């Protein structure tokens, strides 16, 4: 079972993963939505912490009053109503431009992915594309 299939089937824990695949976004969407998950995607370049938070908020449909800070990110991620995969294709730009800001955002994303309950559906981030070395696990 591939890493993505295992994730969608609940055999791989949600998390923030590096993901090396050539799978087209349309095929990914079909797989994710077919498994009952929502798919959001960040494909535009965002380098600063503020730009990344804005891109995450736009991709996930956060409310207009989303504050573009780490506390607001945490609160909004906790309000996700369905299991969600966030595909971040341009993550390397943010990691190279502002590594400290990138790492703080990733920690919030990791914390939310670890929080699963009846009221907190699964949440996973797939970092696809080039970027610096990280200590994040690859999703096979």
The 10s digit of each residue's pLDDT in 85-138 is: 999 999 999 999 999 999 999 999 999 999 988 789 999 999 999 999 999 999
Residues 41-87: pLDDT tens digits? Answer: 998 999 999 999 999 999 999 998 898 899 999 999 999 999 999 99
- In angstroms, the CA 45 to CA 131 distance is 13
∠ CA 79-4-96 to the nearest 5 degrees?
A: 75
Going by pLDDT thresholds of 50, 70 and 90, the confidence category of residue 13 is: very high
pLDDT at 138: 94
Closest among 77, 37, 78 to 60, alpha carbons compared: 77
pLDDT at 1: 45
- In angstroms, the CA 94 to CA 49 distance is 8
Query: For the whole model, what pTM was predicted?
Result: 0.94
Full set of structural domains in the chain with CATH: 34-127 (3.30.370.10)
């Amino acid at each position: 079972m591939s890493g993505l299939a295992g994730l969608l089937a609940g055999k791989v824990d949600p998390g923030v993963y590096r993901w090396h695949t050539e799978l087209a976004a349309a095929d990914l969407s079909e797989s994710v939505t077919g498994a009952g998950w929502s798919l959001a995607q960040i494909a535009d370049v965002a380098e600063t912490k503020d730009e990344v938070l804005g891109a995450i908020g736009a991709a996930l449909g956060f409310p207009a009053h989303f504050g573009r800070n780490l506390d607001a990110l945490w609160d909004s991620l906790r309000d996700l109503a369905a299991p969600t995969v966030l595909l971040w294709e341009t993550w390397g730009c943010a990691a190279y431009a502002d590594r400290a800001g990138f790492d703080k955002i990733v920690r919030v994303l990791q914390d939310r992915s670890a929080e699963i309950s009846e009221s907190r559906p699964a949440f996973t981030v797939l970092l696809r594309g080039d970027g610096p070395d990280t200590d994040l696990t690859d999703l096979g």
